[in-house]
Structure 1
């Protein structure tokens, strides 16, 4: 019934009422499209046309519906914009004013697709307004952030200057003057790095070899035997060693033969009483054994007989050789001082012949003196000879971390023995035993025997 009435009203509307209805319809459509424009960002071609349209619609008059019984028409009122009731006959009510959102960007290009499918770009012009001071968020990469942070840290670090007090400055100066400041440690040098490709150097297991020598050097050591020898004393032994050095030089033997010869003599005298008249026989027989062990071409028995001015016959030399080997139980592979000297010289200053000859000079002085050979084992005597040579040649530093590493001795452990060797050097001019002095006064050996003694050790 209500629908029939509405249909009848529409049919009997006057032109004015129909125009008013069209106005309401346009208001509804404009509000409807405006609400859609708020959702989708707006599809108006330009802002000027939209404002002109809204102002035109706001200025229009709207005539409300009149009752069909010919009642008095409603007053003409100014339109309230979009806050109106539209099509109340179907129940569509717009209760609130639609919020029209502004476009995200005013100056953007709107693409309009024509009938032929061609795309045309149309610039959208906006009103001339002053740009607002809006905060712009710049997204940068992590690397740029790290660079900025590091730059700030550097500026802060450079701006902050360390404040040193007068007390701290004076304390540092006093420590430096007294030598109390910590000096950088001397790094340990790998002395076998250059011999990796040398098969004879046995660089792979040379450390194990010398560790074994250090463990077994006590086996080749001997005790103080002078009290058990009624006819022999330390001076007679020194004379024998001095003569053996001369013989060794005459035969041009290797250094290993000399050190092994003296070791055999001392070990034999420590287990067997020897008359004074046979002491030289023990010496030449011991050198014969050492030469057979170390040399490629060993001297013959007749050579030793001749060098001793035929004081002994062939049978005596061979018999003494047999007795010595029996007493020593054929044990000849012992670490002599020479074994350690080669290693320690290499750790000191490699390929320095002056340093090498000076070290051998002190080592042979130690061999000739009975007190050093009894009191110190071969490794310590060799290390002390290196230290005494460095002191005599004014090497700096006197003892390095490399030497400490390879010898196993600190500087304090060697001072006493080195002082003894330097004292032998200082008294060499007054000694009657000149074999060592003549040997190392030769220019071929840099005349190291003629060097002044290390006074820093003599005055300690």
Structure 2
């Protein structure tokens, strides 16, 4: 409480000035119920102290007054005969030393009752030692806490992957951690669960054929990599909400890619281009009607964290990855989103982390999983093994599969021909043995 209390003054005749005003002030303070007056030691003259009487200072004054009364008894009990003799020889000096600072009279203090009571009952020597001296227990506790924090997050082993981008305003380094925490929290909102049981005329194999065809369309139009991931997300979310016939499946795929292009691309392919690629199976009006229906079903909710969002971050967390490493990660991730079980069983962030882990195992990057990757992904090596095993199995079967779009794409020299790399069979053996 920041109330300023007026201390009543005495004149030479001993009468109070402004008696009526002082009584009003005291009546108001009396209503508060926490008025406290400090008594002065007898035989000492009154002195005006300009220092404000705070709660802490008031507690110090009470403690010193109590210590003065117990001083002689404590000295005799402890056997300090020499100090007792000095006090007897110089009583004025002993009295001055025991009393300390003079305490004013008629000082009104507004303080907490509990705080004043604690100040009266607590030994002043114990209170002062707690403030000034650190006990052995507190030191050991602090060291134990520091050691436990180091064991949980070994900061020396976590590399600052954003150090090179601090001066780049477009990198928004100061917001990255918060952004990816938000992505992890909201990824389940746009994640679909097993919906093929509700589809009567469509199965998971048809879905894979559709995604494989869209991969070729994506490559022919030279679209951004974000577009194909958003396209797959839109398709799965719509199919989880609406039952469609087999003839409408390709129409859903075309309309979903047009929506994704409008969201991600600077240059958007025309509807007539998709009509030609679909061999005139649908008219332009059918595509536009389906596009509108999809947006209504999804409630125009298109800003979702796809696996691509996490792939970019996790590849960077690999610490100076080369181009071969980056191409292999995207190869495994695109094999993953093309298969229905991978999308249903694993979240986008786990799929991205598993692609990075499988790529490091394939390229024999030691260690396979570092503290930096664990810190940024939030997944341990054990949590990623099942999903990584699935991606490596897709890599192993890619050459002989009927769905060749992703395999052809990453067999080209501009992609480092990473599809020809030997899959991480040691990871498969390790997972099967466990």
* Residues 1:185 and 1:330: Cα distance change in structure 2 (over 3 Å): closer
The match for 2:132 is: none
Q: Which has the larger radius of gyration?
A: 1
Corresponding residue to 2:369 among 387, 394, 399: 399
The match for 1:320 is: 290
The match for 1:161 is: none
Cα distance in 2 for partners of 1:405, 1:262 equals 28
Corresponding residue to 2:272 among 288, 297, 302: 302
Cα distance in 2 for partners of 1:198, 1:305 equals 42
The match for 1:432 is: 402
Q: Which has the higher contact order (CA 8 A, sep 6+)?
A: 2
Cα distance in 1 for partners of 2:266, 2:169 equals 20
Instruction: Look up the SS of the partner of 1:218 in the other structure.
Output: helix
Verify the 8 A CA contact 1:186 1:401 in the aligned structure 2.
Answer: no
The match for 2:416 is: 446
Cα distance in 2 for partners of 1:206, 1:262 equals 25
**How big is the shift at 1:191?**
0.8
**How big is the shift at 1:454?**
0.4
The match for 2:202 is: 232
The match for 2:19 is: none
Cα distance in 1 for partners of 2:388, 2:278 equals 34
Q: What aligned pairs does 1:51-130 form with structure 2 within 5 A after superposition?
A: none
TM (normalized to structure 2)? Answer: 0.63
Verify the 8 A CA contact 2:161 2:319 in the aligned structure 1.
Answer: no
Give ranges in structure 1 of 5+ residues lacking alignment.
Answer: 1-183
1:115-141: per-residue Cα shift (whole Å, max 9, x none)? xxxxxxxxxxxxxxxxxxxxxxxxxxx
1:289 aligns with 2:259: yes
Verify the 8 A CA contact 1:188 1:405 in the aligned structure 2.
Answer: yes
Instruction: Look up the SS of the partner of 1:459 in the other structure.
Output: helix
The match for 1:382 is: 352
The match for 2:46 is: none
1:251-308: per-residue Cα shift (whole Å, max 9, x none)? 0000110000000000000000010001000001000000000001111111111111
Corresponding residue to 1:244 among 187, 198, 214: 214
Cα distance in 2 for partners of 1:322, 1:185 equals 50
Give ranges in structure 2 of 5+ residues lacking alignment.
Answer: 1-153
**How big is the shift at 1:349?**
3.5
Cα distance in 1 for partners of 2:426, 2:240 equals 36
Cα distance in 2 for partners of 1:332, 1:455 equals 38
- Higher helix fraction: Structure 1 or Structure 2? 2
What is the root-mean-square deviation of aligned Cα atoms in Å? 1.1
1:25-51: per-residue Cα shift (whole Å, max 9, x none)? xxxxxxxxxxxxxxxxxxxxxxxxxxx
1:363 aligns with 2:333: yes
Cα distance in 1 for partners of 2:421, 2:296 equals 43
**How big is the shift at 1:350?**
2.9
Task: Report runs of 4+ in structure 1 exceeding 4 Å deviation.
Answer: none
**How big is the shift at 1:185?**
9.0
**How big is the shift at 1:458?**
1.6
Cα distance in 2 for partners of 1:206, 1:300 equals 35
Cα distance in 2 for partners of 1:250, 1:285 equals 17
* Residues 1:192 and 1:306: Cα distance change in structure 2 (over 3 Å): same
